[in-house]
Amino acid sequence: MGSFIKYIIDYTEGNLSESERKVFEDELLHNSELKQEYDTFIYVNKTMQGNVDINSIEPELENIKIDEESKKLIEKYQKNPLKYDSIRDFVKSATLNSNEERINIEVNQINEEIREKNIDTITKKWVDEWNSDHPSIEINEKNKIRNFVTSSLEVDQNSNISKHNTPAITWYKSTVFKIVGFSVAASIAILFVLQTLILPTDPNELFETNYKPYQAITTITRGNETEMMNNQALMNYRQGNYEIAALEFDLLVSKDPQDIAALFFGGLSNIELGNYTKAIDLLSKVKAKNLDYTIEARWYIGLISLKTGDVEGAYQEFEALSKNPGFYQKTSKNILRKLKR
């Protein structure tokens, strides 16, 4: 309980960098504990702000004229509410700002169209065909289509294209699907699949596709000397000063060989410097402790193994991660598939 508060405070006060903020927002979507704590924090602050507001206006509220004036306005409103329709429309549409509300309205509109045009009957038939043992679409064809969609989404994610596609990309995708028929799209999928079936994906290519530097989060508070050194090293890491960061983490580890964070981020700094042997050495120590950062350490050891051509070593790490429900499970399974294991 309360473990995320420093993080939440930094986020709400704008103390995180652009990339840290994105990581936080992504984590907010997936981590229910963080979400609950964040919601509580916001609610508490809003409630207390409301309390302070009321206390500050109470002296003014004792002014009888304000009370009388507001009662007159309400009486006028209640006598002829239709007169306020255009203002009401303005206020209601302006307060409909949350994505959730907009999505709910859109979903209701979609449901209405589904009911009117009886679309459920048609799509149910499609789903039954897809799921049945003797489909009108062959199993191979289904797998090809599935792989096409999956690999397309992975390329989209890894190339950091915004999830809200740029208008140009959206136009392109929608135009392709309008012009090209379903069978042609399936043919394109076959080409991807053939390539996948005949040749395993190059381990180095897998590294390049999946590697992203780990986002370091730190709070900007002053503490003892070690804490300050740690913050300094993390700041250098975040700013891409990997040589300095690596040296600083080495110093921290020399002071305390059990410092898991220093071992982990030291390992990551060395990956960026291309010092893979040292990186694996440091990350393996993190993995051996089986405490904080163990999963992340396994992930990066797996990626380094791909980079250095140690496919067996990579397989071991991704196999373990594929069995662990969490952030890396799905991608690890994809990598294993591509390693043809």
| 39 vs 256, beta carbon nearer another protein | 39
Q: Which of 19, 22, 40, 312 binds another protein (CB under 8 A)?
A: 40
DSSP string, 159-185: TT--SS--HHHHHHHHHHHHHS-HHHH
Min dist CB 163 to another protein, Å, is: 23
d(CA 27, CA 10): 15
What string marks each residue from 205 to 224 as x (binds another protein by CB under 8 A) or -?
Answer: --------------x-xx--
Rule CB under 8 A: say whether 67 interacts with another protein.
Answer: yes
> What is the number of residues in the chain?
341
DSSP 194-230: HHHHHSPPPHHHHHHHH--PPPP-------SHHHHHH
- In the bound complex, what is the minimum distance in angstroms from residue 170's beta carbon to another protein? 25
CA distances from 218 to 16, 211, 296 (A): 9, 22, 17
Find the shortest distance in angstroms from Cβ 225 to another protein: 16
Instruction: Give one DSSP letter per residue of 265-301, joined into a string.
Output: HHHHHHHHTT-HHHHHHHHHHHHHHTSTTHHHHHHHH
Measured from the CB atom, the residue of 3 and 136 that comes closer to another protein is 3
Residue 104 is a binding residue for another protein (CB under 8 A):
no
Q: Map the footprint of another protein across residues 302-331, applying CB under 8 A.
A: none
Q: Which helix (H) or strand (E) holds 336?
A: helix 329-338
Of 42-50, 167-175, 205-213, 310-318, the segment contacting another protein by CB under 8 A is: 42-50
Within 10 Å of residue 11's Cβ, how many Cβ atoms?
20
What DSSP string runs through 129-150?
HHHSSS-SS-HHHHHHHHHHHH
Decide whether 45 or 123 has the Cβ nearer to another protein.
Answer: 45
Tell me if 228 contacts another protein by CB under 8 A: no
Does position 290 interact with another protein (CB under 8 A)? The reply is no
- If one asks whether residue 46 binds another protein (CB under 8 A), the answer comes out as yes
Instruction: Spell out, one character per residue from 70 to 99, where the chain touches another protein: x when CB under 8 A holds, - when not.
Output: xx-xx-xxx----xx--xx-xxxxxx-x--
Q: Which of the ranges 58-66, 172-180, 267-275, 294-302 carries the binding residues for another protein, by CB under 8 A? A: 58-66
* From 44-52, 136-144, 162-170, 276-284, span contacting another protein (CB under 8 A): 44-52
Burial class (CB in 10 A: 0-12, 13-18, 19+), 239: exposed
163 near another protein (CB under 8 A): no
Q: Is 226 in the site for another protein (CB under 8 A)?
A: no
60 counts as binding another protein under rule CB under 8 A? yes
Q: Which residues contact 110 (CB under 8 A, 6 or more apart)?
A: none
Which of 188, 165, 164 lies closest to 176, judged by CA?
A: 188
Nearer to another protein, 50 or 181 (CB): 50
> Applying CB under 8 A, does 6 fall inside the site for another protein?
yes
Distances (CA, A) of 152 to 62, 189, 333: 65, 10, 16
Q: Which residues bind another protein (CB under 8 A)?
A: 1-2, 5-6, 9, 37, 40-41, 44-54, 56-57, 60-61, 63, 65-67, 69-71, 73-74, 76-78, 83-84, 87-88, 90-95, 97, 219, 221-222
